[in-house]
A = this chain, B = another copy of it.
């Protein structure tokens, strides 16, 4: 039995192109979540790189979002820009009906080579256990009906940072919580790109409303995650003129920082 995530990230590879299908099952509003698109793009890029005797594990991915992905078919095209002894650098473009959705730089390597030894690892934040947190499945029905994503990932938010859900944002600009696949699939390396972009907008904690389209995204993957819940913290320190930057960090169940990202995105107040 395959998982919902595996179904959503399958593709049909021919040389440097992969036929893909985006699904509103992973949507927020009419747009397909950028995280599931990046996970799919990472896997297609990995397959092309391996086919060209390059590396297969994503170490870093920088993307620009050119138009919202929509329900239906699409295609990725990958150019291997450089293939060295320790790293491969590629560029992948996702199009739907000849319209570019996402363009990304992907740096690949052998993740296990870069995962050890650990010189510096930031500690995960202190937060209540998942069962003592606020469940995404308890979101208002109108929010759930607009977001297929919310029923496919199980998010548990620290109660100390969900005041915004009842009109009392903390003003700290930080969300903390847990995340995993709702159907029990364990996380793997490339699924971290989904989890980096699956939390509610951190600007909710500042009183912002509504969806916040990503302009640029940059994520680094540091190690394969151990099985179990992932801990996520998102923060923003810089908000001005309708734009903000958001940092996300993910720790696995061993307390290892396995992924981090930064994005430039809109913010509506």
Contacts and interface: CB of A to CB of B under 8 A. Distances in A.
A113 B241 CA distance: 6
Nearest to A220: B264
Q: How many copies does the complex hold?
A: 2
A13 interface: no
B241 A114 contact: yes
Chain A facing B: main interface SS? strand
Interface in A227-267: 236-245, 257, 260, 262, 264, 267
Contacts of A269: 119
A100 B120 CA distance: 33
Contacts of A216: 60, 62, 105, 107, 218, 220
Nearest to A242: B114
A134 interface: no
| Chain A contact patch, size range | 35 or more
A267 B222 CA distance: 14
7 contacts: A59-B264, A66-B81, A114-B240, A114-B241, A120-B236, A122-B238, A238-B260
The 10 closest A-B pairs by CB, nearest first: A114-B241, A119-B239, A218-B218, A62-B62, A120-B239, A122-B237, A60-B216, A64-B105, A118-B240, A60-B264
